[in-house]
Amino acid sequence: MEICENVSEVHRQYRREFQEDPRSRPIIKRIKYKFGTNGSVQNVHRQRSGRPTASKSFIRQERVLECHCEAFKKSLRQSSRKIGISKSSVYRILRRCQWVSYIPTMVHSVSEDDLDRRKQFCEWYSEKCE
């Protein structure tokens, strides 16, 4: 799609491309002006609304990951108490970095006798169900 300077041409191209009525002329002019001055159509001067998220700061994220590396067997609550931020923030940081927040447990290895025991159990259970 080519770039147009004329608002009427933008209207025609929009109608041709999307088969629906385009936005009003003032909106198209405002978008063009915003893109010309900022290089983007987003509101660059206005910050996002709502409470700022403190868990996104690089320093906090670094502290959480460092604490989790040192003692990965600690729970989220223990880690959050040690660092001094909320449990949900610790969980959010770990999830954003694609780290697991659960405590690993030891799983017993499978021996050669286990296969026979499993087979016996399956046979016993199928007889019991009949």
DSSP-assigned letters across all residues of 67-129: HHHHTTTS-HHHHHHHHTS-HHHHHHHHHHTT---SPP---PPP-HHHHHHHHHHHHHHHHHH
Residue 123 placed within a domain: no
Whether 116 is covered by a domain: the verdict is: no
Overall number of domains in the chain: 2
Indicate whether 115 belongs to any domain.
no
- Whether residue 73 lies inside any domain: the answer is yes
Per the CB < 8 A criterion, the answer to whether 35 and 51 are in contact is no
Same domain? For 37 and 59 the reply is: no
Q: Return the pLDDT at 81.
A: 92
Per-residue model confidence as pLDDT tens for the chain (130 residues): 456 677 788 878 888 888 888 778 888 788 778 777 777 777 666 666 667 666 678 888 999 999 888 887 788 899 899 999 899 989 989 888 888 877 767 777 778 888 888 889 999 988 888 7
Domain with 20 in it: 1-48
List the one residue out of 1, 6, 13 whose CA is nearest residue 29.
Answer: 6
Q: What is the pLDDT of residue 9?
A: 82
Instruction: Kindly state whether residues 89 and 59 are assigned to the same domain.
Output: yes
124 part of a folded domain = no
Residues 33 and 65 in one domain: no
Q: So what's the pLDDT on residue 47? A: 66
